[in-house]
A = this chain, B = another copy of it.
């Protein structure tokens, strides 16, 4: 299960480890309609990363991207706050067009993944729309406006996953037989913004339990801060101390084990006291090798958790 950048990195390591045996369930709460285009930021990030075409220096989008569209849009006084790259738009236009033709987001994602040479199976958490809304005071802010336009500035009082109560979880998940999975891994994505939308889909948590697979998570919080994004800021705003222990408490009852970074080793016993197994390791992925090592460690940990 993954959201954007951090999740995509571990997913790439897992794809290296198990190839097409990997299914990645991706958050679509970040999806939005912009300029008439259906944009799926997390699906794209995971797809580009697993297809080996992600822009590593920028941290999002495609490698070798150019920006003539957005410069022209700006010149035409169009809404240029969401930086659409020239190559990137091909995904959005094609996705939007295929969706308008009546195909599901899963189907379109499968087609795009084939074109990018992604070996793993990427599944949007749902083919129905779920939209993350940030409630801040009296404001209800659509996610991308919060994330991109407002640069995560507003205080988060509450998160809403609009549509999650009626959205059906991706029907292809139903074809995974209980007992058939070696592991479920929550990638080090933002618990509130990336993993919670998936868990909020009606029936998802029950399905996860019925699967009977060991569930492990990788903490996105290392040494009290987030590797990327607003996870630590949001934790504070929701009244929690930013720490791997807060991640553990948040996932309590859902995960069996948590991988935390070596710099957080002193939290081990407190997390274990919550009934969650702990693996202390290097969780910061700087290189491709780091991704693979962490992926293998996650799978090893899941196997051990399953035995106990």
Binding site for B on A (CB under 8 A): 35-37, 62, 65-66, 68-73, 75-78, 86-91, 93-94, 96-97, 100, 111-112, 115
Contact = CB atoms under 8 A, between A and B. Distances in A.
30 contacts: A35-B96, A36-B36, A36-B93, A36-B96, A36-B97, A37-B93, A62-B72, A65-B68, A66-B68, A68-B86, A68-B87, A69-B86, A69-B87, A69-B90, A69-B93, A70-B90, A71-B87, A72-B87, A72-B88, A72-B90, A72-B91, A73-B90, A73-B94, A76-B94, A76-B112, A78-B90, A78-B93, A86-B86, A89-B89, A89-B93
Nearest to A94: B78
A4 to B, nearest CB: 21
Given A69-B69, A69-B90, A87-B69, A115 B77 contact: yes
A77 B96 CA distance: 15
Contacts of A86: 66, 68-69, 72, 86
A76 B76 CA distance: 28
Contacts of A93: 35-37, 69, 73, 78, 89
Contacts of A66: 66, 68, 86
A167 B96 CA distance: 29
Contacts of A36: 36, 93, 96-97, 100
A88 to B, nearest CB: 8
A240 B69 CA distance: 44
